[in-house]
Amino acid sequence: MKATYKKYILNFKIPGGTSRGVLTEKETWFIILENDGKYGIGECGILRGLSIDDVPDYESKLKWSCENIHLGQDTLLKQLVEFPSIQFGLEQAFLSIQSKNPFELFPSAFTKSEAPISINGLIWMGDESFMLTQLEQKLKGGFQCIKMKIGAIDFDKELSILKAIRKRFSVDQIELRVDANGAFSKENAMEKLEHLSEYQIHSIEQPIKPNQWNTMATLCKKTPLPIALDEELIGIFDVTEKQRLLQTIKPQYIILKPSLVGGFGGCKEWIDLAEQNNIGWWITSALESNIGLNAIAQWTYSLNTKMLQGLGTGSLFTNNFESPLEVAEGKLFYRNTKTWKTNLIEHLCI
């Protein structure tokens, strides 16, 4: 078996604003396997400034992984614990080359176009008019769950947007989620949670920066609205340490991004621990191309979860890959009437 890797830059159609800054492009990497004329592909979705494997020798580790592909999946995954995005890329690539169709990793009613996945609509940070414009588009698109990035503009303006939504739509009509990306300080977090709770918010992601376990535990205990951990999970590899985090903080939810926490295997470990501790969970993408998003969506469907997922990021880029994935009516569909470019994998090898 031969393995190669390729860097690819995804360009945003519209800059994406978060409390950590504005995104105009997204770097990603592909691992391509080839054996007797059969190909497999996996995406290593690194997020610079956030991924634990955002390190200077990232590309050299990719190169090492390809040079040692003969070691096999299990051995490689064990040796790449501190490189969760590469673990995820390898998981996909091995599934891909073993599958009849390299893009159908988990055959199901989803991949047969019989059952979509319900997802939230994402609203990026920006000025008030920009955020309201996005909101109108999402509502017209049939979304029944809106996730709004908060923490970058004036908090009162963010509250006014939430107030405007709630004035028009009840909690039964629109589910509201907010994502602070750690923007609140430990001093003002509780006050802001109390203000947010006036608008029947489903949950808030990562209100304060990670690695403040005791403060986060206090917030989760006293919060007037459910808290979901996101960045908090990054960089925790040992199952005992995962258990300690969940038992210490006791969050209401955790959010799992395969590229950031060790692929399907890493996510499943978190899910099992969360369910043992009566903690809810859902899956989101981490700005992968349609190749990575496709793998995440198919795997997520196989979990039979009823929660709305965060898988609507495929339309963000100008140079994404044509695929059967399509967002409509607030859901992610796999349209069998649309196809992948037949020579996509071979093209990436060039």
Where b means 16+ CB within 10 Å and e means fewer, 120-137 reads bbbbbbbeeeebbebbee
Q: How many CA atoms lie within 13 A of 6 on its CB side?
A: 17
Q: What is 2-102+342-349's CATH number, 1.10.10.60, 3.40.30.10, 3.30.390.10, 3.40.640.10?
A: 3.30.390.10
CB 178 within 8 A of CB 148: yes
**So what's the pLDDT on residue 17?**
65
Which residues of the chain fall below pLDDT 50?
none
**So what's the pLDDT on residue 167?**
87
Rounded to two decimals, the pTM is 0.94
Q: What is 117-334's CATH number, 3.50.50.60, 3.20.20.70, 3.20.20.120, 3.40.50.800?
A: 3.20.20.120
**So what's the pLDDT on residue 164?**
86
All structural domains of the chain with their residue ranges: 2-102+342-349, 117-334
Q: Provide the annotated active-site residues.
A: 149, 257
**So what's the pLDDT on residue 20?**
63
Q: 183-187: list long-range contacts, CB under 8 Å, 24+ apart.
A: 183/19, 183/150, 183/151, 183/152, 183/207, 184/151, 184/208, 186/212, 186/215
**So what's the pLDDT on residue 180?**
93
Which amino acid would we find at residue 77? L
User: Rounded mean pLDDT of the chain?
Assistant: 93
> CA 97 to CA 85: how far, in whole Å?
19
**So what's the pLDDT on residue 169?**
86
